[in-house]
Amino acid sequence: SGKANYGEEINYEITGIEAGAGVVAASQDAVEKYDSLAGWEVSTSSSGAMATALGEAIDNEEPIVVTGWTPHWKFAEYDLKYLEDPQGVFGDAEEIKTMVKTGLKDEKPNAYKILDQFQWETSQMEEVMLEIQNGADPAEAAKNWVSNNEDAVSSWTEGTEEVDGKEVELVYVNWDSEIASTNVVAEVMKEQGFEVTTTPLDNGPMWEAVANGEADGMVAAWLPATHGSQFEKYGEQVEDLGANLEGAKIGLVVPEYMEVDSIEDLQA
């Protein structure tokens, strides 16, 4: 693999997202652990700003290193690659799991059952993400997906009864993947008669809201690595309903045209 000195060109910066994201914490860990990243920094801003910076770099064929994750529309839009992580800082395959407040099963059995049965594939989540990325309002994109995927949706509502305006509060973080999943689940619940509120929070507060029962649940728990520290802190106070998506991943992502394959190649 090539040994171009990209560090100097990009100011030894890894373009990060929200400060509370697991992938940002893992990237900071990588900076500590890899000699090739000595002197690098992980900048923080937002997922949207990261995506804009990535698009601009690609337009100009310039180098950039971003905190990346799958599922994400950026892989459909651009030629990108994950940098190999020989030290395993970013973990292996991740699952996205559903967490609800304790007691939800008795309090709102139909909501609990829908959340428990919600489960889809990366390609399905990416359909919703792409539509949003192409300009659709998230709620509209979710509505379209739900009406075009009756089989999936009926497997999530199977065995549940419709309700009449029962309130449900879902929390999430404004990451593209979680905007897609949370809007889809909210739409399914609305069609079953629920009054659904979706509240965007930072990562820590999202976990805390489910743990202290302020929110009913979330479909945005990336485990075992990405949100490992949140799970350690709040895992005992929430009910884990298992994976809603398998085969997720986080890592450092670069454009295909960069002559590096591994984090160890970043600086000669």
Interface ranges with ligand PBE (CB under 6 A): 17, 21-23, 69, 175, 177-178, 203, 222, 226, 250
Task: Provide the β-strand partners of residue 172.
Answer: 200
What tokens appear for 137 in the block?
A: 């309002």
- Which CB atom, from 96 or from 141, has the smaller least distance to ligand PBE? 96
Q: Considering beta carbons, is residue 122 or 203 the nearer one to ligand PBE?
A: 203
> Which residues partner with 199 through β-bridges?
171
Instruction: Determine how many CB atoms are found less than 10 A away from the CB of residue 201.
Output: 18
CB of 111 to ligand PBE, least distance (A): 23
CB 112 within 8 A of CB 100: yes
State in angstroms the smallest separation of the CB of 250 from ligand PBE.
5
Backbone angles phi, psi at 193, to 5 degrees: 100, 5
Min separation Cβ 244 and ligand PBE, Å? 12
Which residue, 160 or 205, has its beta carbon nearer to ligand PBE?
205
Minimal distance, residue 256 CB to ligand PBE, in Å: 21
**Cβ-contact 217, 103 below 8 angstroms:** no
Q: How far is the CB of 163 from ligand PBE (least distance, A)?
A: 29
* For ligand PBE, the closer CB: 157 or 226: 226
Cβ 110 to ligand PBE, closest distance in Å? 27
End-to-end Cα distance, the chain: 11
Distances (CA, A) of 240 to 71, 136, 244: 21, 31, 11
Supply the DSSP symbol for 83: P
For residues 224 and 227, give the distance between their C-alpha atoms in angstroms, rounded to a whole number.
7
Locate all alpha helices (DSSP H) within the chain, ordered by sequence. Answer: 6-9, 22-33, 47-59, 74-77, 104-107, 109-117, 122-133, 138-148, 150-157, 176-191, 203-211, 228-234
129 neighbors 86 (Cβ within 8 angstroms): no
Based on CB atoms, which residue is closest to ligand PBE, 110 or 198?
198
CB of 67 to ligand PBE, least distance (A): 7
CB nearer to ligand PBE: give 7 or 91.
91
Closer residue to ligand PBE (CB): 17 or 186: 17
